[in-house]
Amino acid sequence: MIRGRLLCMIGFGVLWMLVTPVLGSPDWYLNPDKLSISSKTHFIGLAQGNSYSQALQLAQMDIASQIEVSVSSAMTMNEYRVNMNAQFHSYRTDKVSVKSYLDQVILGAQVQEQVAEFDRHYVAVSLSKSRVIKRLNTQLGTLKNRFDERMVVAKKMLANHEVQDALTLLHDLIDMRPEMTQKIRLLMGLSDLKGLEKIAKGLDRPDLLQQKIMLKLRTEIISGDQQRGVLGSLLPLPVRVSVRYADQVVLAGIRIELRDSQGQVRGVSWTNADGVASFDVVAMSGYHQGQLSFCPVLSNDRRAKGSKWARLYYEIDHQSLAGVSRIDIQGLLEEEVPVLLLQIKTQLVGWGLGIVSSSPELHVQFLEMKKTSVKGPSGTLVIAEVPVALSLVYQGKVQAQWQDRVKGISETGDGARKEALSQFKLEEWSFFDMIARSER
Protein backbone atom coordinates (compact mmCIF):
# COMPACT_ATOMS: atom_id res chain seq x y z
CA MET A 1 0.00 0.00 0.00
CA ILE A 2 2.72 2.41 1.02
CA ARG A 3 4.76 1.34 -2.02
CA GLY A 4 1.80 2.07 -4.32
CA ARG A 5 1.34 5.55 -2.87
CA LEU A 6 5.05 6.24 -3.30
CA LEU A 7 4.92 5.26 -6.97
CA CYS A 8 1.86 7.48 -7.49
CA MET A 9 3.60 10.43 -5.89
CA ILE A 10 6.69 9.92 -8.10
CA GLY A 11 4.52 9.63 -11.22
CA PHE A 12 2.56 12.74 -10.29
CA GLY A 13 5.83 14.64 -9.70
CA VAL A 14 7.18 13.69 -13.12
CA LEU A 15 3.88 14.63 -14.76
CA TRP A 16 3.88 17.98 -12.94
CA MET A 17 7.42 18.72 -14.14
CA LEU A 18 6.37 18.07 -17.74
CA VAL A 19 3.10 19.96 -17.64
CA THR A 20 4.14 22.96 -15.53
CA PRO A 21 6.22 24.74 -18.26
CA VAL A 22 3.28 24.49 -20.65
CA LEU A 23 0.66 25.49 -18.13
CA GLY A 24 2.88 28.27 -16.83
CA SER A 25 3.77 29.64 -20.24
CA PRO A 26 2.13 32.96 -21.12
CA ASP A 27 -0.33 33.02 -24.02
CA TRP A 28 1.95 35.13 -26.23
CA TYR A 29 4.74 32.55 -25.84
CA LEU A 30 2.53 29.78 -27.22
CA ASN A 31 0.86 32.06 -29.77
CA PRO A 32 3.05 34.98 -30.93
CA ASP A 33 0.14 36.41 -32.92
CA LYS A 34 -1.22 37.75 -29.62
CA LEU A 35 1.72 40.15 -29.35
CA SER A 36 1.14 43.81 -30.20
CA ILE A 37 3.59 43.70 -33.14
CA SER A 38 3.36 41.77 -36.42
CA SER A 39 5.82 39.23 -37.79
CA LYS A 40 5.37 40.89 -41.20
CA THR A 41 7.12 44.05 -40.06
CA HIS A 42 9.30 42.72 -37.25
CA PHE A 43 11.55 39.82 -36.40
CA ILE A 44 10.17 38.28 -33.20
CA GLY A 45 12.36 36.28 -30.85
CA LEU A 46 10.90 34.04 -28.16
CA ALA A 47 12.81 32.16 -25.47
CA GLN A 48 12.72 30.88 -21.92
CA GLY A 49 15.55 30.40 -19.46
CA ASN A 50 16.53 29.95 -15.85
CA SER A 51 17.17 33.68 -15.58
CA TYR A 52 16.05 36.83 -17.34
CA SER A 53 19.47 37.45 -18.88
CA GLN A 54 19.62 33.91 -20.24
CA ALA A 55 16.14 34.14 -21.74
CA LEU A 56 16.93 37.55 -23.27
CA GLN A 57 20.13 36.26 -24.87
CA LEU A 58 18.34 33.23 -26.30
CA ALA A 59 15.55 35.43 -27.68
CA GLN A 60 18.11 37.64 -29.41
CA MET A 61 19.76 34.53 -30.84
CA ASP A 62 16.35 33.48 -32.11
CA ILE A 63 16.12 36.73 -34.10
CA ALA A 64 19.64 36.29 -35.46
CA SER A 65 18.77 32.72 -36.52
CA GLN A 66 15.66 33.94 -38.32
CA ILE A 67 17.72 36.51 -40.21
CA GLU A 68 20.22 33.85 -41.18
CA VAL A 69 17.48 31.59 -42.51
CA SER A 70 15.85 34.50 -44.33
CA VAL A 71 19.12 35.52 -45.98
CA SER A 72 20.12 31.96 -46.89
CA SER A 73 16.72 31.25 -48.46
CA ALA A 74 16.78 34.49 -50.44
CA MET A 75 20.32 33.85 -51.64
CA THR A 76 19.38 30.36 -52.82
CA MET A 77 16.54 31.81 -54.90
CA ASN A 78 18.56 34.77 -56.17
CA GLU A 79 22.09 33.36 -56.27
CA TYR A 80 22.77 35.18 -59.52
CA ARG A 81 22.66 38.46 -57.61
CA VAL A 82 25.68 37.38 -55.59
CA ASN A 83 27.56 35.61 -58.36
CA MET A 84 27.35 38.51 -60.79
CA ASN A 85 31.04 38.17 -61.57
CA ALA A 86 33.91 35.82 -60.81
CA GLN A 87 35.83 38.33 -58.72
CA PHE A 88 32.94 38.94 -56.33
CA HIS A 89 32.31 35.22 -56.09
CA SER A 90 35.93 34.53 -55.19
CA TYR A 91 36.02 36.58 -52.01
CA ARG A 92 32.39 36.68 -50.95
CA THR A 93 31.21 35.06 -47.69
CA ASP A 94 29.60 31.69 -48.45
CA LYS A 95 27.47 31.56 -45.30
CA VAL A 96 26.08 34.23 -43.05
CA SER A 97 27.10 33.21 -39.54
CA VAL A 98 24.81 33.95 -36.59
CA LYS A 99 27.75 34.62 -34.28
CA SER A 100 29.49 36.88 -36.79
CA TYR A 101 26.51 39.20 -37.18
CA LEU A 102 24.78 38.90 -33.81
CA ASP A 103 26.18 42.13 -32.41
CA GLN A 104 25.44 44.03 -35.64
CA VAL A 105 21.96 42.72 -36.28
CA ILE A 106 20.31 42.69 -32.87
CA LEU A 107 21.25 46.25 -31.93
CA GLY A 108 17.99 48.02 -31.28
CA ALA A 109 15.99 44.87 -30.44
CA GLN A 110 13.23 45.78 -27.96
CA VAL A 111 11.73 43.67 -25.21
CA GLN A 112 7.99 43.29 -25.83
CA GLU A 113 7.06 40.97 -22.99
CA GLN A 114 8.71 39.31 -20.00
CA VAL A 115 7.15 36.96 -17.46
CA ALA A 116 8.50 34.82 -14.63
CA GLU A 117 6.51 31.67 -13.89
CA PHE A 118 7.57 28.69 -11.72
CA ASP A 119 11.23 29.77 -11.68
CA ARG A 120 11.21 30.09 -15.48
CA HIS A 121 11.65 33.39 -17.29
CA TYR A 122 9.89 34.03 -20.62
CA VAL A 123 11.00 36.85 -22.92
CA ALA A 124 9.72 38.17 -26.25
CA VAL A 125 11.88 40.65 -28.19
CA SER A 126 11.23 42.32 -31.52
CA LEU A 127 13.37 44.02 -34.14
CA SER A 128 12.00 46.15 -36.93
CA LYS A 129 12.93 44.72 -40.33
CA SER A 130 13.07 48.16 -41.88
CA ARG A 131 15.39 49.30 -39.07
CA VAL A 132 17.79 46.41 -39.74
CA ILE A 133 17.86 47.20 -43.45
CA LYS A 134 18.36 50.91 -42.80
CA ARG A 135 21.22 50.29 -40.36
CA LEU A 136 23.00 47.86 -42.71
CA ASN A 137 22.50 50.20 -45.65
CA THR A 138 23.97 53.11 -43.65
CA GLN A 139 26.98 51.03 -42.62
CA LEU A 140 27.49 49.90 -46.21
CA GLY A 141 27.23 53.49 -47.43
CA THR A 142 29.90 54.61 -44.97
CA LEU A 143 32.21 51.82 -46.06
CA LYS A 144 31.55 52.55 -49.74
CA ASN A 145 32.41 56.24 -49.33
CA ARG A 146 35.65 55.36 -47.56
CA PHE A 147 36.40 52.74 -50.21
CA ASP A 148 35.78 55.19 -53.08
CA GLU A 149 37.89 57.92 -51.45
CA ARG A 150 40.84 55.60 -50.97
CA MET A 151 40.55 54.39 -54.54
CA VAL A 152 40.79 57.99 -55.79
CA VAL A 153 43.81 58.70 -53.55
CA ALA A 154 45.54 55.47 -54.60
CA LYS A 155 45.10 56.31 -58.29
CA LYS A 156 46.56 59.79 -57.72
CA MET A 157 49.52 58.27 -55.89
CA LEU A 158 50.14 55.89 -58.76
CA ALA A 159 49.92 58.75 -61.27
CA ASN A 160 52.50 60.66 -59.19
CA HIS A 161 54.82 57.59 -59.12
CA GLU A 162 54.23 57.08 -55.39
CA VAL A 163 54.03 53.34 -55.93
CA GLN A 164 54.82 52.17 -52.39
CA ASP A 165 52.16 54.46 -50.87
CA ALA A 166 49.68 53.20 -53.46
CA LEU A 167 50.50 49.61 -52.48
CA THR A 168 49.87 50.39 -48.80
CA LEU A 169 46.50 51.89 -49.67
CA LEU A 170 45.76 48.90 -51.90
CA HIS A 171 46.25 46.62 -48.91
CA ASP A 172 43.65 48.62 -46.95
CA LEU A 173 41.18 48.40 -49.84
CA ILE A 174 41.57 44.63 -50.06
CA ASP A 175 40.98 44.35 -46.30
CA MET A 176 37.73 46.32 -46.62
CA ARG A 177 36.18 44.00 -49.20
CA PRO A 178 35.12 41.08 -46.95
CA GLU A 179 33.09 43.32 -44.59
CA MET A 180 31.46 45.13 -47.52
CA THR A 181 30.67 41.81 -49.19
CA GLN A 182 29.06 40.49 -46.01
CA LYS A 183 26.80 43.53 -45.69
CA ILE A 184 25.85 43.39 -49.36
CA ARG A 185 24.89 39.74 -48.94
CA LEU A 186 22.73 40.53 -45.90
CA LEU A 187 20.97 43.37 -47.69
CA MET A 188 20.39 41.24 -50.79
CA GLY A 189 18.73 38.61 -48.63
CA LEU A 190 16.61 41.03 -46.60
CA SER A 191 15.59 43.64 -49.12
CA ASP A 192 15.05 44.59 -52.74
CA LEU A 193 17.28 47.64 -52.55
CA LYS A 194 18.58 48.75 -55.91
CA GLY A 195 22.22 49.41 -56.62
CA LEU A 196 23.65 46.54 -54.57
CA GLU A 197 24.84 44.68 -57.67
CA LYS A 198 26.64 47.81 -58.87
CA ILE A 199 28.41 48.20 -55.51
CA ALA A 200 29.37 44.52 -55.57
CA LYS A 201 30.81 44.78 -59.07
CA GLY A 202 32.82 47.81 -57.98
CA LEU A 203 34.64 45.73 -55.37
CA ASP A 204 36.94 44.32 -58.05
CA ARG A 205 38.50 47.75 -58.65
CA PRO A 206 41.45 47.04 -56.30
CA ASP A 207 42.33 44.10 -58.55
CA LEU A 208 42.57 46.44 -61.54
CA LEU A 209 44.59 48.90 -59.45
CA GLN A 210 46.93 46.11 -58.38
CA GLN A 211 47.48 45.14 -62.02
CA LYS A 212 48.38 48.73 -62.92
CA ILE A 213 50.77 48.96 -59.95
CA MET A 214 52.43 45.71 -60.99
CA LEU A 215 52.73 46.90 -64.57
CA LYS A 216 54.31 50.17 -63.43
CA LEU A 217 56.75 48.41 -61.13
CA ARG A 218 57.62 45.90 -63.82
CA THR A 219 58.14 48.61 -66.44
CA GLU A 220 60.42 50.58 -64.08
CA ILE A 221 62.41 47.45 -63.22
CA ILE A 222 62.80 46.40 -66.87
CA SER A 223 64.01 49.87 -67.87
CA GLY A 224 66.26 50.17 -64.79
CA ASP A 225 69.76 48.92 -64.08
CA GLN A 226 70.84 45.58 -65.46
CA GLN A 227 71.57 44.06 -62.06
CA ARG A 228 67.83 43.82 -61.41
CA GLY A 229 67.16 42.00 -64.65
CA VAL A 230 63.83 40.33 -65.24
CA LEU A 231 63.82 38.86 -61.74
CA GLY A 232 62.25 42.11 -60.62
CA SER A 233 59.04 40.91 -62.26
CA LEU A 234 58.75 38.36 -59.46
CA LEU A 235 57.84 41.15 -57.07
CA PRO A 236 55.30 42.28 -55.83
CA LEU A 237 53.18 39.24 -56.66
CA PRO A 238 51.57 37.22 -53.87
CA VAL A 239 53.43 33.94 -53.31
CA ARG A 240 52.13 30.47 -52.49
CA VAL A 241 54.87 28.28 -50.98
CA SER A 242 54.42 24.52 -51.06
CA VAL A 243 56.76 22.30 -49.02
CA ARG A 244 57.22 18.61 -49.79
CA TYR A 245 59.69 15.77 -49.29
CA ALA A 246 60.67 13.70 -52.31
CA ASP A 247 57.94 15.42 -54.35
CA GLN A 248 55.21 13.49 -52.54
CA VAL A 249 55.05 13.86 -48.75
CA VAL A 250 53.23 17.10 -47.88
CA LEU A 251 54.59 18.96 -44.87
CA ALA A 252 52.13 20.98 -42.80
CA GLY A 253 53.02 23.35 -39.98
CA ILE A 254 56.38 24.37 -41.47
CA ARG A 255 57.43 27.92 -40.65
CA ILE A 256 58.45 29.90 -43.75
CA GLU A 257 60.30 33.16 -43.13
CA LEU A 258 60.57 35.94 -45.69
CA ARG A 259 63.91 37.70 -45.03
CA ASP A 260 65.61 40.73 -46.52
CA SER A 261 69.29 41.02 -47.47
CA GLN A 262 70.16 42.01 -43.88
CA GLY A 263 68.67 38.80 -42.53
CA GLN A 264 65.69 40.59 -40.98
CA VAL A 265 62.39 38.71 -41.07
CA ARG A 266 59.89 40.67 -43.20
CA GLY A 267 57.06 38.17 -43.04
CA VAL A 268 56.18 34.79 -41.55
CA SER A 269 53.73 32.14 -42.70
CA TRP A 270 53.05 28.49 -41.89
CA THR A 271 52.15 25.73 -44.33
CA ASN A 272 48.58 24.49 -44.04
CA ALA A 273 47.19 20.96 -44.37
CA ASP A 274 47.99 21.06 -48.08
CA GLY A 275 51.57 22.10 -47.39
CA VAL A 276 50.96 25.63 -48.69
CA ALA A 277 51.95 28.92 -47.06
CA SER A 278 51.08 32.37 -48.42
CA PHE A 279 52.69 35.82 -48.46
CA ASP A 280 50.65 38.85 -49.48
CA VAL A 281 51.34 41.62 -51.99
CA VAL A 282 52.56 44.22 -49.50
CA ALA A 283 55.07 41.82 -47.91
CA MET A 284 56.61 41.24 -51.34
CA SER A 285 56.64 44.82 -52.56
CA GLY A 286 59.60 47.16 -52.73
CA TYR A 287 62.26 44.50 -53.14
CA HIS A 288 64.32 43.32 -56.08
CA GLN A 289 66.41 40.30 -57.00
CA GLY A 290 68.88 39.34 -54.29
CA GLN A 291 67.06 41.32 -51.59
CA LEU A 292 64.60 38.67 -50.43
CA SER A 293 64.82 34.99 -49.54
CA PHE A 294 62.34 32.34 -48.44
CA CYS A 295 63.80 30.36 -45.55
CA PRO A 296 61.96 27.26 -44.30
CA VAL A 297 62.71 26.51 -40.65
CA LEU A 298 63.14 22.75 -40.54
CA SER A 299 64.23 20.66 -37.57
CA ASN A 300 66.22 17.46 -38.00
CA ASP A 301 63.34 15.24 -36.93
CA ARG A 302 61.18 16.56 -39.79
CA ARG A 303 63.59 15.23 -42.42
CA ALA A 304 62.78 12.04 -44.29
CA LYS A 305 65.02 9.08 -43.51
CA GLY A 306 67.85 8.67 -45.99
CA SER A 307 66.97 11.93 -47.74
CA LYS A 308 69.75 14.48 -48.06
CA TRP A 309 67.59 17.15 -49.63
CA ALA A 310 64.27 18.73 -48.84
CA ARG A 311 62.61 19.89 -52.04
CA LEU A 312 60.52 23.05 -52.08
CA TYR A 313 58.14 24.14 -54.81
CA TYR A 314 57.24 27.80 -55.03
CA GLU A 315 54.31 28.69 -57.25
CA ILE A 316 52.98 32.11 -58.19
CA ASP A 317 49.78 32.19 -60.21
CA HIS A 318 48.49 35.60 -61.21
CA GLN A 319 46.67 37.19 -64.15
CA SER A 320 47.58 40.81 -64.82
CA LEU A 321 47.60 43.51 -67.47
CA ALA A 322 51.27 42.77 -67.93
CA GLY A 323 50.41 39.33 -69.24
CA VAL A 324 52.04 37.22 -66.55
CA SER A 325 50.54 33.78 -67.01
CA ARG A 326 52.62 31.76 -64.57
CA ILE A 327 55.86 31.92 -62.63
CA ASP A 328 57.36 28.61 -61.52
CA ILE A 329 60.04 28.47 -58.88
CA GLN A 330 61.79 25.28 -57.86
CA GLY A 331 64.33 24.93 -55.12
CA LEU A 332 66.56 22.49 -53.33
CA LEU A 333 67.30 23.20 -49.71
CA GLU A 334 70.39 22.01 -47.84
CA GLU A 335 70.21 22.21 -44.06
CA GLU A 336 73.21 24.49 -43.59
CA VAL A 337 72.87 26.85 -46.58
CA PRO A 338 69.38 27.56 -47.96
CA VAL A 339 69.70 27.96 -51.73
CA LEU A 340 66.82 28.33 -54.18
CA LEU A 341 66.99 27.99 -57.94
CA LEU A 342 64.37 30.25 -59.52
CA GLN A 343 62.79 29.61 -62.87
CA ILE A 344 60.65 32.53 -63.97
CA LYS A 345 58.48 32.48 -67.08
CA THR A 346 56.36 35.44 -68.16
CA GLN A 347 54.67 36.50 -71.36
CA LEU A 348 55.97 40.04 -71.12
CA VAL A 349 59.71 39.54 -70.68
CA GLY A 350 60.11 35.95 -71.77
CA TRP A 351 61.62 34.26 -68.76
CA GLY A 352 64.50 34.73 -66.37
CA LEU A 353 66.74 32.62 -64.20
CA GLY A 354 68.31 33.54 -60.89
CA ILE A 355 69.18 32.71 -57.32
CA VAL A 356 67.67 33.98 -54.09
CA SER A 357 69.49 32.92 -50.94
CA SER A 358 69.61 33.75 -47.25
CA SER A 359 73.37 34.08 -47.69
CA PRO A 360 74.40 37.56 -49.00
CA GLU A 361 77.53 35.94 -50.46
CA LEU A 362 75.46 34.07 -53.04
CA HIS A 363 74.04 36.01 -55.96
CA VAL A 364 73.43 36.02 -59.70
CA GLN A 365 75.60 38.14 -61.93
CA PHE A 366 74.20 39.10 -65.33
CA LEU A 367 77.08 39.02 -67.79
CA GLU A 368 75.18 40.10 -70.87
CA MET A 369 71.79 41.68 -71.44
CA LYS A 370 69.87 42.01 -74.65
CA LYS A 371 67.19 44.56 -75.47
CA THR A 372 64.26 43.24 -77.39
CA SER A 373 60.68 44.23 -78.08
CA VAL A 374 57.79 42.05 -77.02
CA LYS A 375 54.05 42.44 -77.12
CA GLY A 376 52.62 43.79 -73.89
CA PRO A 377 49.04 44.61 -72.87
CA SER A 378 46.59 45.24 -75.71
CA GLY A 379 49.24 44.32 -78.25
CA THR A 380 51.52 47.27 -77.46
CA LEU A 381 55.27 46.81 -77.93
CA VAL A 382 57.43 46.93 -74.82
CA ILE A 383 61.22 47.24 -74.81
CA ALA A 384 62.58 44.68 -72.36
CA GLU A 385 66.07 43.72 -71.24
CA VAL A 386 66.61 39.98 -70.83
CA PRO A 387 69.72 38.10 -69.73
CA VAL A 388 71.47 36.03 -72.38
CA ALA A 389 74.43 35.14 -70.16
CA LEU A 390 74.78 34.88 -66.40
CA SER A 391 76.90 33.28 -63.71
CA LEU A 392 76.34 32.05 -60.14
CA VAL A 393 78.76 33.64 -57.69
CA TYR A 394 79.47 32.42 -54.17
CA GLN A 395 82.05 34.08 -51.90
CA GLY A 396 83.39 36.00 -54.87
CA LYS A 397 84.02 32.91 -57.00
CA VAL A 398 82.08 31.92 -60.10
CA GLN A 399 80.52 28.51 -59.45
CA ALA A 400 78.58 28.05 -62.68
CA GLN A 401 77.87 29.91 -65.91
CA TRP A 402 75.13 29.83 -68.46
CA GLN A 403 75.02 31.13 -72.03
CA ASP A 404 71.76 31.42 -73.96
CA ARG A 405 72.18 29.94 -77.43
CA VAL A 406 69.08 31.62 -78.77
CA LYS A 407 70.15 35.26 -78.16
CA GLY A 408 66.63 36.59 -77.97
CA ILE A 409 63.08 35.83 -76.98
CA SER A 410 59.86 35.20 -78.82
CA GLU A 411 56.79 37.33 -78.29
CA THR A 412 55.25 34.79 -75.94
CA GLY A 413 58.46 33.79 -74.18
CA ASP A 414 58.01 30.18 -75.29
CA GLY A 415 59.55 28.13 -78.06
CA ALA A 416 63.31 27.88 -78.35
CA ARG A 417 64.03 29.41 -74.92
CA LYS A 418 62.38 26.47 -73.24
CA GLU A 419 64.85 24.21 -75.02
CA ALA A 420 67.73 26.50 -74.07
CA LEU A 421 66.68 26.48 -70.41
CA SER A 422 66.52 22.69 -70.35
CA GLN A 423 70.23 22.57 -71.35
CA PHE A 424 71.30 24.52 -68.24
CA LYS A 425 72.76 22.15 -65.65
CA LEU A 426 74.66 23.25 -62.55
CA GLU A 427 77.21 20.47 -62.80
CA GLU A 428 79.87 22.14 -60.64
CA TRP A 429 77.59 23.75 -58.07
CA SER A 430 78.53 22.19 -54.72
CA PHE A 431 75.25 22.95 -52.93
CA PHE A 432 72.92 21.16 -55.29
CA ASP A 433 72.82 19.35 -58.61
CA MET A 434 69.70 19.61 -60.70
CA ILE A 435 68.48 20.26 -64.21
CA ALA A 436 66.36 23.39 -64.54
CA ARG A 437 63.17 22.60 -66.38
CA SER A 438 60.65 24.99 -67.89
CA GLU A 439 57.80 22.68 -66.89
CA ARG A 440 57.63 20.45 -63.84
Q: Kindly indicate the confidence band of residue 412, based on its pLDDT and cuts at 50, 70 and 90.
A: very low
**Taking 90 as the threshold, does the pLDDT of residue 254 lie above it?**
no
Q: Kindly indicate the confidence band of residue 120, based on its pLDDT and cuts at 50, 70 and 90.
A: confident
Return d(Cα 260, Cα 262) in angstroms, integer: 5
Q: Which of 47, 25, 24, 20 is nearest to 112 (CA)?
A: 47
pLDDT mean over 352-362: 41
Give the pLDDT of residue 43. Answer: 85
| Each residue's pLDDT tens digit, 333-351 | 333 333 333 333 333 233 3
Give the pLDDT of residue 110. Answer: 78
Q: What is the 3-state secondary structure (H, E, C) of the chain?
A: CHHHHHHHHHHHHHHHHHHHHHHHCCHHHHCHHHCCCCCCCEEEEEEEECCHHHHHHHHHHHHHHHHHHHHHHHHHHCHHHHCCCHHHHHHCCCCCCHHHHHHHHCCCCEEEEEEEECCEEEEEEEEEHHHHHHHHHHHHHHHHHHHHHHHHHHHHHHHCCCHHHHHHHHHHHHHHHHHHHHHHHHHHHHCCCCCHHHHHHHHHHHHHHHHHHHHHHHHHHHCCCCCCHHHHHHCCCCEEEEEEECCCEECCCCEEEEEECCCCEEEEEECCCCCEEEECHHHHCCCCCCCEEEEEECCHHHCCCCCCCEEEEEEECCCCCCCCCCEEEEEEECCCCEEEEEEEECCCCCEEEEEEECCCCEEEEEEEEEEEEEECHHHCEEEEEEEEEEEEEECCEEEEEEECCCCCCCCCCCCHHHHHHHCCECCCCCCCCCECCCCC
Give the pLDDT of residue 17. Answer: 55
**Taking 80 as the threshold, does the pLDDT of residue 183 lie above it?**
yes
| CATH (residue range 20-222) | 3.10.28.20
In percent, the amount of the chain with pLDDT more than 90 equals 3
Q: Model-level pTM?
A: 0.46
Query: Higher model confidence: residue 411 or residue 371?
Result: 371
Q: Kindly indicate the confidence band of residue 148, based on its pLDDT and cuts at 50, 70 and 90.
A: very high
| Each residue's pLDDT tens digit, 228-242 | 222 333 333 444 555
Q: Kindly indicate the confidence band of residue 212, based on its pLDDT and cuts at 50, 70 and 90.
A: confident
Give the pLDDT of residue 147. Answer: 93
Q: Are 366 and 226 in contact (CB under 8 A)?
A: yes
Give the pLDDT of residue 333. Answer: 32
Q: Are 346 and 233 in contact (CB under 8 A)?
A: yes
Q: Kindly indicate the confidence band of residue 407, based on its pLDDT and cuts at 50, 70 and 90.
A: very low
pLDDT mean over 117-128: 84
Give the pLDDT of residue 278. Answer: 64
Give the pLDDT of residue 416. Answer: 35
| Each residue's pLDDT tens digit, 305-333 | 333 333 333 333 322 222 222 223 333 33
Least confident of 67-71, 287-291, 340-344: 340-344
**Taking 90 as the threshold, does the pLDDT of residue 146 lie above it?**
yes
**Taking 80 as the threshold, does the pLDDT of residue 396 lie above it?**
no
Q: Kindly indicate the confidence band of residue 149, based on its pLDDT and cuts at 50, 70 and 90.
A: very high
Query: Higher model confidence: residue 411 or residue 357?
Result: 357
Q: Where in the chain is the domain with CATH 3.10.28.20?
A: 20-222
Give the pLDDT of residue 101. Answer: 55
**Taking 80 as the threshold, does the pLDDT of residue 176 lie above it?**
yes
Least confident of 132-141, 296-305, 333-342: 333-342
Contacts of 173 (CB under 8 A, 6+ apart): 147, 150, 151, 154, 205, 206, 209
